Structure 1
């Protein structure tokens, strides 16, 4: 099965980098870490995705470098970075650098390890491409580019000096059954799905098939989900029974939904015991 049932639940919060000044975003990251969130994500877009589409917005990777410096415990990363926006070797170098910035010595004196989760996808926001001069291509061509980029990224990590502090976890988002799930089977440590529970169950079977075809142990892949905002703990339980172990919710300015964050944390603690 494409999940590890013994893995504890983790809670991620996607902090949308929009509609707030940076001081507010920075303070919200502090608050999320203090609350006990496991992972904080942003996104890799150039304009707001909700509300005023010309409102305040900040670039994702430079923000991640700042988060790496300001935080001590949480993991963090983009949900997800767009493969099309940067040369893959440059992107690998950026990720390696952020990984080192975030490294913290272990409590037992073990070597410092970074906390970056390298979330990546093929891209979809047409306005980003147009405004910044990137070729939008097609869904198929963007996925082909992602498949080509992943080996380059991993090769670059192997030859950089210094190399990353750890094997940086790769999160791949999306659910396309012919191309995306094959890329997940080949390269991902975490698969992020936007599916409902019924669809997730079917796609997990397809992911398992792809893992068999590429010679991968599917239990190595953590299943990540993003339940709808109106769904309660019964829905979380359903996803959990299917093998999901990373649960993410999004908060955005001007009204951050702290109640939902605290409900997810309480549910995590109850499930993990």
Structure 2
């Protein structure tokens, strides 16, 4: 099992220079993947605090880094036409020399929808829209000139067992979930069942999870559940990377 460590560098409550400095510090520390998120307002703290847009930032990150993979945890499918999103991802893929992960989900933060004029619909309809968008994204990649530099990994975030995990089994190479080890293990078993239904090898899908505690508290249980990518979330403006560095040290000690 190849263990990797990720960072979700939350683009809220900070100047962009602080975000960029934290990005570079994380890369220097040895992190494998750095994610932002796709929202228009902070998710905690001052609801009208400083915040920056996801994909323009990823383009800047592609130029500011040289080794780490980058992506959103996760892009909201509702905010962009699938063909446009495919083209954006292909472009950042080229700028980064093949280091983009397309993280995507169905969306959930109603304030984003209301303030920016998107139809919030129902959770089920948003998931159906995601299922319809994913083959369109993959098809557009086959038509773009130049083509992507690689088969861009698709990460799907969320734990819905009937639709989200089914979409993951059909389209993704990484699944990202949240919760304790027991919850992650259960979701992985559901994902495996969907893979069996579709005739897909479940080992083709990397299991990823968010972590908030120390490796001594969480690592073994998540490993036993099948997790290979462990992602620490850090908010601004200070971007304390101390917990991230503990997880990197744990990875390196194995």
For normalisation by structure 1, the TM-score amounts to 0.91
Q: Deviations over 1:135-192 (max 9, x none)?
A: 0000000000000000000000000000100000000000101111100000110000
Query: Structure 1: 5+ residue runs without aligned partners?
Result: 1-5, 104-113
Indicate conservation of the 8 Å contact 2:26/2:241, yes or no.
no
1:90 aligns with 2:73: no
**RMSD of Structure 2 on Structure 1 (CA):** 0.9
1:215 aligns with 2:209: no
1:31 aligns with 2:36: no
Aligned counterpart, 1:120: 104
Distance, in Å, in 2 between the alignment partners of 1:125 and 1:165 is 32
1:240 aligns with 2:217: no
Aligned counterpart, 2:5: 11
Q: How does 1:39-58 map to 2 (within 5 A)?
A: 39-58=33-52
For normalisation by structure 2, the TM-score amounts to 0.98
1:267 aligns with 2:250: yes
1:75 aligns with 2:77: no
State the 1:199 CA deviation: 1.2
State the 1:205 CA deviation: 1.1
Aligned counterpart, 2:169: 185
State the 1:33 CA deviation: 0.7
Distance, in Å, in 2 between the alignment partners of 1:184 and 1:90 is 21
The one of 98, 123, 126 aligned to 1:142: 126
State the 1:195 CA deviation: 2.4
Distance, in Å, in 1 between the alignment partners of 2:214 and 2:252 is 18
1:225 aligns with 2:209: yes
State the 1:230 CA deviation: 3.6
The one of 165, 180, 185 aligned to 1:196: 180
Moved more, 30-39 or 194-203: 194-203
Indicate conservation of the 8 Å contact 2:15/2:237, yes or no.
no
Aligned counterpart, 1:108: none
Secondary structure of the equivalent of 1:159?
coil
What is the number of residues matched between the two proteins?
254
Secondary structure of the equivalent of 2:176?
strand
Q: Deviations over 1:42-71 (max 9, x none)?
A: 000000111111011000000000000111
State the 1:256 CA deviation: 2.0
Distance, in Å, in 2 between the alignment partners of 1:231 and 1:10 is 15
Query: Structure 2: 5+ residue runs without aligned partners?
Result: none
Moved over 6 A (4+): none
State the 1:253 CA deviation: 1.1
